[in-house]
Structure 1
Amino acid sequence: MAEIAVFHLLANFAPFIQEEVNLLTGARDEVEYIRGEFERMTAFLRVADAMEETDPGLEVWVKQVREAAYDTGDALDMHRLHLGRHHGYGVFLRKVYCHIKTIKARHQIASEAKRIKSRLVNISEGHQRYSDMYRRQEQGSRPTVAWYDSRGDALLLKEAELVGIEKPKSQLIQWLAEDDPRLKVVSIAGMGGLGKTTLTKKVYDDPIVKKHFQNRAWITVSESFKIEKLLQSMIEQLFKEVKQPIPQGVENMDTNSLKGIINAFLKQKRYVLVLDDVWDIHAWQSFRYTFPNGNCGSRVILTTRNINLASFCSGEYHGYVYNLMPLSPEDSWTLFCRKTFQGFSCPSYLEGLSRDILRRCEGLPLAIVAISGLLSTKEKSMEEWERISRSLGAELEGNEKLTSMSRILSLSFFDLPWNLKLCFLYLSIFPEDYSIDHWRLIRLWVAEGFVEAKDGMTVEEVAQSYLNGLIDRSLIQVAERRADRRIKSYRIHDLWREILVSKSREQNIIKVASERGIAWPKKVRRLSVHQNLESEQERSCFTHLRSLIVFGSIDSFSILSKVALLGNGLRLLTLLDLEGTQLETFPNEVVKFCHLRQLSLRRTNLKTIPKSIGNLQNLETLDLKQTLVTELPDEILKLQRLRHLLLYRVDLKLVMSSFHYHTGFKAPMGIGSLSSLQKLCSIEANHENNNGMLLREVGKLTQLRRVHILKLRREDGKVLCSSLEKLKNLQSLSVSAIQEDEIIDLDSVSSPPQCLRTLYLAGHLQRLPRWIPSSFNLVRVCLWYSKLRDVDPLRSLQDLPNLASLEILHAYVGEELCFKAGAFQNLETLVLAELKELVWVRVEASSMHHLKKLSLVKCKLMEEVPSGIEHLTNLERLQLFDMPHCLISRLNRDLQGGDYWKVSHIPVVVIGGWKDGRWQGSFLF
């Protein structure tokens, strides 16, 4: 991990030495020595990084190198601030001659260089003490580690499901669905890492359970919980499931009011609620009276590490306790082989070593998946596996199973490539049970300088490969995917987070402000605030702070001011993330952070951005999503390094009911000069767009991967088409007309972006653009308010080989839709909404073979459900919202000659609609 710091430092050294050396008379030799010494250290660090966990002395040496590299980088950046005002390297170098005119300034630089040189000499002496070990390591060099590309979602959550849970799952489902009207608590108890949450999730998502209960909700309690937040989350889940508006003012209600809402909602309903990871009796008592006993057969599932707590809770409510045991040797071996050998048998010459390694995993699914994930990347040689077996033997000789598991997981951590270790440790910035947004994590890594640029790849693409490496090793889990199959969010297993926080604290990687009773280091470089800074924390010095991330709805302004005051202005800050905090005005301190690369004020109440934003000329990401900002000053054009410009607001309450649910921002003319932009969301095309000038500017942004254009006028369509032909890297295109009836004319695109994966068009279309059938990489298509007439829109879409999600909302005014045989072979999600002229839908055999979810919303369909729906054998969920009563009545299983037989094979059928201003929904079966 020290190599990251050195690598970043060396990248900054080059321009400093090449151009400033004439200004550093008397310091040139020292500066050259510093760079050379760091370069010599780099090769050794690659070996030391893989060995430091077994040698405390070496670990200290590596930490010294890392701190020296950081301090040297701080010194360089501070001198740039003092001498060059940091207006970019080129401008800086031209201005240095004008600013450094005194012997005093030169003396300061020379003095700093001598101090750093002296420090490195001392560190180098430590290097000599390890030179013999280095040579021995070189002579017996480790076999080359085979690095595999992503092999799918090889995650703990899915793999642990596949073995050893058939019996507990069957038993739990039987308890949940038994014919007893009393409210019961079913507890699943066992030590951490046994897979309690995995098993519970598998039961929770089972079709039998989904059919049996009318309402469901999942709450992760954890050791330190806030009852109000959990109750609010439960209310959101329950109301969202049935499409009912969340009661106003929930976020400001006290605990008793929130409990009252839940209790009233669940009365006379059969529900199942999960309380995951309950630690003590206090947590249970915080919830126990929230759930009504309506004698409807409702159930509460509770997972805990405390068997006594499980017995108490289940005994109090006539329930059951399932003591989850480790996997049997047979199941352990099955899981181990599936992950390690990708489904193939274990080679006979490795079986003895494999079983020896597996035996010490003690049947713990988390440990088995972690160590087998490690082995899957190794050369299948006895020498390599014997080395791993030998290391494990030293680590697993204890009786403390949690400690043993942590050591196994730590071994997987230490075996990570150097460029992944720091990225993985960085996850400790997030609070417990936090859903980690995919793009937020990538942008944080990039801003921190953790991602190494590679030829032919953007740094974001390199960061994605880092994530794939962590996924392949089952170190992070995919929590949610988007409609186009891309990963939306991740989670970290509880045990892994404990390990990461501990290691991060030991190595002074990140300081979490919510940690109590923990001494603060002398230098804090990355600060994650989960709570307000306490008085004892205020004594810490933040003059070297590089990143500040604040979580939760707290007073970010006071925290920023406090840290800035203590840190002498935070002049070295490169990352500031205040997402979701209570911020209404732009902090004046921010424009002084000249090194800032990422600024996120997402989900704050910010209304305006000052012209002084132009001072942040190193800014790469400006995230203002879900704020009240609607215009950016022209000074934004000074930010020539900007890669992600995100500014839009979505009103979720209006998504299905109003065309104008999405607002963007007024972009300054000349935005095409921001040539590094990769994401631009969302610009309003009707502002100062004389003769399509603004849209012509978009065509200059040839690095764009995603663009969203709002309020497009018909006459600007051809100009936009001309620009789109220049955006060869575009992957996501969203275009919305200025009014619902305004025509979107994109037909003149002769060469569409071949990388396009997502297409969203909102507005009147005379016909689908002719280029769509040739866009073979399209994964998701959304057509809203298109109002296509007399032309079947399916013809242009049915042969797209990668199309997985299709939404047609108010987009077709014809009476018939036919899904032809063999069409839409990879479609998984289909939404037909607001098609009020649609009389019938026919699905021919072998059409949409992989469809999993079908939603019909406010469609005419007076006679019957889609004809041929019985052919959709893989359909998992059918949603019928605001559909005609005559159609719904034909689904009655007791109606002779009805349509029940057509949908009886579908695990979940949901019927709902609006009545008296409220959403009411129910499960048909």
Structure 2
Amino acid sequence: MDPVSGALGLLPSKLLELLQAEYNLQKSVRVQVQSLSRELEVIHSTLRRVAAEPPDMLNEQVKNWAREAREASYNFEDRIDTFFVRVVDGCREPIEETGSRWLKSAKKKKKKKMGDLPTKGRAPDDIAAAIEDMMKQLQELNERVRGYTTDDILLRPVTSTSSTVDPRLPAMYRNERELVGIEEVRDELVRLLTQGDAEDDKKREVKVVSIVGLAGVGKTTLAKAVYNRLQVQEQFDCSAFVSVSRNPDWKKVFWDMLLELDEAMYQMGIYTEKRAMDVKQLTDEIRRFLENRRYLIVIDDIWSVEAWKMISLVLCDGNSGSRIITTSRMSDVAAASAAEGRGSRYILKPLSHANSEKLFYKRIFGGERNCPHIKLAEVSDKILKKCSGLPLAIITVASVLASKPWEEWSEVYNSITLRHESNRYVDNMRKVLSFSYYDLPFHLRSCLLHLSIFPENCLFIEKDFLIWKWVAEGFVQKERPGPRISLFEIGERYFNDLVNRSTIQIAEGCLNRGRVYGCRVHPVLFSQIRAISSEENFCTVFEDEHHTSPGNQHSSRRIAMHSIRNVEHNMEKVRSFNASLCFIDGSPQLSSFQVLRVLALEYCPGMNSHHLLKQIGNLVHLRYLGLVGAGVLELQEETLGWLKFLQTLDLRETEIEQLPRNIPDQLVCLCVHQIRTVVEGKIGRLTSLEDLRLRHVTGDIVKLATELSCLRKLRVLVLGFEKMDVGLEKALLESLGHLHKIQRLEIYCKPSTRAVMWEESCWVPSPNVHQLVLGGLLFSRLPSWMINRSPLPLLSHLQLGVEVLEDGDLEIFGRLLPQLRSLI
């Protein structure tokens, strides 16, 4: 699923499921379903072409058509999913709360609307009518789009005869006297590129420095400053500074490089006849020219490893002491280019607050510390914190403020995206930041826009539950063909790809165990994401009384609320509802959801009310239910019993008496802070579980430990016990021996608990384990699996209590655990 094409990517597989024999569709209906699938493919293909271009390059007619097609896709999916729900659900009544007029009305409507519900084995008449209705709508949409030529869809609107200007040009030609905080970094890179030059054997090797960082952090500016300095203090036979960009025209890139390298020949007009060269001929020409010459080349703004490989074809190493500088937002590109020769990767960080302040005041007042009023200084400080050291944002905001009365500075702070401002600095910032979004594959765009649901200035977004939300929303799709991996693991690839592209950052302190726990988004990029989310009508955000990203409030499919009590909004078509620090009291808002798939409430007073919990039982489309920080919660049978599609149940920082007997068997993620009683046989039936976290378990825990052996798909297992006796140890070790997919295993118990059975057992951790924590257990010596030298090639974090380490034990750690980064 992507923001432009909506649910179109999901519909073919759901239609295919409808064709299964168990639904007993009539032959005529089956033919209609197949025709519907073909019509969907036509629209999906056209929407993908539309999505490949930024909105400002599309005419309004095409944008309106795309918006209607996307909304239609959501409606179609809702109707098909409702059919599946009714087949699974049977003829049940809404859960009624005494005195609830809405529920009584809903009950009557449901009886009237549903009548005799379809069941597997019986052909439903209403699905035929729905398919016919959807077919008519699709044909109408396709008929309209067939009137558009390719040029109508893809050509830029004719608003100017001038060509597009590269937004990096100002950075390349900025006077160094205008820059702040660059000297130290520039000199460090110069040292990296020149150290060892006095030694003849090292001087002859090519040396590469790869600069990597966020959009707008100053990579191009820094590369140009280093380039200028090296040209002055080093002796190079030739030099060039070329930009690659997202969709490179290789003939132009190589032609520009050749002209810069041999400027004198260009001035003489000798290369005029070579303009007709193709890419292969230009590659050969550049290689011939660079051979046996000492060159300095900057390759700016590389967007893929493939682009770097193309560039590297012309960069021959003539053992002449050549120097290469690359810049990229992509970590894998920086790693690939740094791997050449004596390469180094340099991560460019944002400016410090002090340097941000200097740059800000210099742009507005002409001096580094020349703020005329204390109130302006206070607003300036808030603005700088929001810019978070990003030079592009600081310069852009300063350029806007310079032309505004002081009284309006606070308004700029409250709208840092500057959506209603326009000057060359603002336009340039928008282009630079939007590149990060429009370069993303379609499946990653939804994942990035989804981050707009979180509060502004959120410093930590928990990775695992973010990915489970992506799965529940339908953003993550199975990959075919290829090895069989879970949707979560595919989503984890998406997450890592966004980190690699510098669109999200690893949150501070979240990589201390060799594993990424959470992320954050740079405030300026986050504002841009919010703006795009609003334009695409992806999500409506209500964040206190003064800050709202409304989108289209009549058709928004996702709602996020932060620190407010209530909002007026039509919830009928909402698919995702996320709230934090909001008062939730089970009002008719919650009751009015018809197709809700994600309900995530965090630290919201009132969410443990009996009324609210009963209403959750009516949300039959739910895939994700999160009630974080709810305190003591009473989950009744009717709360979860009808949630036949629920995948994730997140009850962190929540205590429950016991898991209901009818908890959905299809759960893939179950997280509970504390359970007082474990119903026998319940955990063992959840055979689809991949992630199980029970932080504090009491009651008959031996039976629980025994049932774990049934959960063969577990990747994450976190368990906490008050005490660990021999019976529990034995049952637990027996079960762990069956869990071969475990990647993260954490067992906690009372400190200094003797690990009697753990020492004697033949249990060996799965070779897939990345993180192993045995908290509280005390071994008299290293466990047998280490003494017997069972390698764990992927283990990066180990927490283990050992009384005595013998000679050679540390050597065992180094030999068996090659990826170990953290040992406690």
Same fold, judged at TM 0.5 (above): yes
Structure 1 residue 58 and structure 2 residue 62: aligned? yes
The CA distance in 1 between the partners of 2:242 and 2:630, in whole Å, is 46
Structure 1 residue 748 and structure 2 residue 750: aligned? no
For residue 516 of structure 1, report the CA deviation from its aligned partner: 4.3
Aligned residue pairs, count: 571
Q: Which amino acid aligns with 2:141?
A: I
For residue 471 of structure 1, report the CA deviation from its aligned partner: 2.1
Match of 1:571 among 594, 617, 635: 594
The CA distance in 1 between the partners of 2:64 and 2:648, in whole Å, is 35
Change (3 A) 1:616 1:125: same
Which sits farther off after the overlay, 508-517 or 589-598?
A: 508-517
TM-score (norm 1): 0.55
Structure 1 residue 549 and structure 2 residue 574: aligned? no
Q: Which amino acid aligns with 2:785?
A: W
Q: For residue 591 of structure 1, what is the aligned residue in structure 2?
A: 617
Change (3 A) 1:38 1:482: same
Change (3 A) 1:710 1:532: closer
Given that 1:448 and 1:574 are in contact with CA atoms closer than 8 Å, whether structure 2 keeps it comes out as yes
Q: Which amino acid aligns with 2:79?
A: A
SS in 2 for 1:5: coil
Q: For residue 143 of structure 2, what is the aligned residue in structure 1?
A: 125
Q: For residue 771 of structure 2, what is the aligned residue in structure 1?
A: 758
Which sits farther off after the overlay, 424-433 or 2-11?
A: 2-11
Match of 1:36 among 15, 32, 38: 38
Structure 1 residue 616 and structure 2 residue 643: aligned? yes
For residue 414 of structure 1, report the CA deviation from its aligned partner: 1.7
Q: For residue 486 of structure 2, what is the aligned residue in structure 1?
A: 458
Change (3 A) 1:115 1:521: farther
Q: For residue 602 of structure 1, what is the aligned residue in structure 2?
A: 628
The CA distance in 2 between the partners of 1:437 and 1:370, in whole Å, is 36
Match of 1:726 among 721, 735, 738: 738
SS in 2 for 1:759: strand
Q: For residue 488 of structure 1, what is the aligned residue in structure 2?
A: 517
Q: For residue 797 of structure 1, what is the aligned residue in structure 2?
A: 813
Structure 1 residue 114 and structure 2 residue 132: aligned? yes
SS in 1 for 2:534: helix
Identical residues among aligned pairs (%): 24
The CA distance in 1 between the partners of 2:34 and 2:534, in whole Å, is 33
The CA distance in 2 between the partners of 1:19 and 1:533, in whole Å, is 48
> 1:91-141 CA distances to partner (integer Å, 9 max, x unpaired)?
xxxxx997349xxx966544433332222122101221235549999xxxx
> 1:241-271 CA distances to partner (integer Å, 9 max, x unpaired)?
xxxxxxxxxxxxxxxxxxxxxxxxxxxxxxx
Given that 2:692 and 2:718 are in contact with CA atoms closer than 8 Å, whether structure 1 keeps it comes out as yes
Given that 2:686 and 2:711 are in contact with CA atoms closer than 8 Å, whether structure 1 keeps it comes out as yes
The CA distance in 2 between the partners of 1:406 and 1:66, in whole Å, is 25
TM-score (norm 2): 0.61
The CA distance in 1 between the partners of 2:649 and 2:302, in whole Å, is 37
Given that 1:425 and 1:501 are in contact with CA atoms closer than 8 Å, whether structure 2 keeps it comes out as yes
SS in 1 for 2:666: coil
For residue 698 of structure 1, report the CA deviation from its aligned partner: 0.9
Change (3 A) 1:736 1:468: closer
Change (3 A) 1:25 1:52: farther
Given that 2:539 and 2:551 are in contact with CA atoms closer than 8 Å, whether structure 1 keeps it comes out as no
Stretches of structure 2 lacking an aligned partner (at least 5 in a row) = 93-113, 156-178, 188-213, 231-239, 261-297, 312-421
Change (3 A) 1:575 1:721: same
The CA distance in 2 between the partners of 1:51 and 1:80, in whole Å, is 35
Change (3 A) 1:694 1:494: closer
> 1:530-549 CA distances to partner (integer Å, 9 max, x unpaired)?
24365xx52x3211111100
Q: For residue 374 of structure 1, what is the aligned residue in structure 2?
A: 303
The CA distance in 1 between the partners of 2:553 and 2:447, in whole Å, is 21
Change (3 A) 1:635 1:490: same
SS in 2 for 1:680: strand
Structure 1 residue 523 and structure 2 residue 555: aligned? yes
Q: For residue 687 of structure 1, what is the aligned residue in structure 2?
A: 699
Structure 1 residue 421 and structure 2 residue 423: aligned? no
Given that 1:370 and 1:473 are in contact with CA atoms closer than 8 Å, whether structure 2 keeps it comes out as no
Given that 1:371 and 1:412 are in contact with CA atoms closer than 8 Å, whether structure 2 keeps it comes out as no
Q: For residue 440 of structure 1, what is the aligned residue in structure 2?
A: 465
Change (3 A) 1:354 1:436: farther
The CA distance in 2 between the partners of 1:64 and 1:130, in whole Å, is 15
> What is the 5 A alignment of 1:5-84?
5-19=7-21, 22=24, 30-51=32-53, 53=55, 54-56=57-59, 57-82=61-86, 84=88
Change (3 A) 1:83 1:422: same
Structure 1 residue 99 and structure 2 residue 102: aligned? no
For residue 729 of structure 1, report the CA deviation from its aligned partner: 1.0
Change (3 A) 1:464 1:519: closer
Change (3 A) 1:469 1:733: closer
SS in 1 for 2:75: helix
Q: For residue 654 of structure 1, what is the aligned residue in structure 2?
A: none
Given that 1:72 and 1:116 are in contact with CA atoms closer than 8 Å, whether structure 2 keeps it comes out as yes
The CA distance in 1 between the partners of 2:308 and 2:133, in whole Å, is 45
> 1:118-165 CA distances to partner (integer Å, 9 max, x unpaired)?
22122101221235549999xxxxxxxxxxxxxxxxxxxxxxxxx984
Structure 1 residue 698 and structure 2 residue 725: aligned? no
Q: For residue 294 of structure 2, what is the aligned residue in structure 1?
A: none
Q: For residue 645 of structure 1, what is the aligned residue in structure 2?
A: 670
Given that 1:524 and 1:544 are in contact with CA atoms closer than 8 Å, whether structure 2 keeps it comes out as yes
Given that 1:722 and 1:749 are in contact with CA atoms closer than 8 Å, whether structure 2 keeps it comes out as no
Q: Which amino acid aligns with 2:598?
A: L
Match of 2:655 among 610, 628, 632: 628
Match of 2:498 among 437, 449, 470: 470
Change (3 A) 1:193 1:41: closer
> 1:740-784 CA distances to partner (integer Å, 9 max, x unpaired)?
444342242344311112222222323332113423332112135
> What is the 5 A alignment of 1:844-859?
none
Q: For residue 859 of structure 1, what is the aligned residue in structure 2?
A: none
Match of 1:405 among 429, 448, 460: 429
SS in 2 for 1:719: helix
For residue 686 of structure 1, report the CA deviation from its aligned partner: 6.4
The CA distance in 2 between the partners of 1:100 and 1:422, in whole Å, is 34
Change (3 A) 1:573 1:464: same
For residue 633 of structure 1, report the CA deviation from its aligned partner: 2.5
Stretches of structure 1 lacking an aligned partner (at least 5 in a row) = 89-95, 138-162, 172-191, 199-324, 357-368, 383-397, 650-662, 808-925
> 1:43-100 CA distances to partner (integer Å, 9 max, x unpaired)?
3333332136322333333322221111011112233445652699xxxxxxx99734
> 1:616-648 CA distances to partner (integer Å, 9 max, x unpaired)?
221111111111225322222xx2221111112
SS in 2 for 1:776: coil
Q: Which amino acid aligns with 1:433?
A: N
Q: Which amino acid aligns with 2:555?
A: K
Given that 1:373 and 1:474 are in contact with CA atoms closer than 8 Å, whether structure 2 keeps it comes out as no
Given that 1:729 and 1:753 are in contact with CA atoms closer than 8 Å, whether structure 2 keeps it comes out as yes
Change (3 A) 1:685 1:602: closer
Change (3 A) 1:422 1:127: same
Q: Which amino acid aligns with 1:526?
A: R
The CA distance in 1 between the partners of 2:180 and 2:571, in whole Å, is 50
For residue 24 of structure 1, report the CA deviation from its aligned partner: 6.2
SS in 2 for 1:753: coil
> 1:526-567 CA distances to partner (integer Å, 9 max, x unpaired)?
111124365xx52x321111110002x221x23x524224x3
The CA distance in 1 between the partners of 2:228 and 2:91, in whole Å, is 60
Q: Which amino acid aligns with 2:518?
A: S
The CA distance in 1 between the partners of 2:529 and 2:229, in whole Å, is 29
Change (3 A) 1:47 1:722: same
Q: For residue 176 of structure 1, what is the aligned residue in structure 2?
A: none
Change (3 A) 1:431 1:340: farther
The CA distance in 2 between the partners of 1:136 and 1:593, in whole Å, is 41
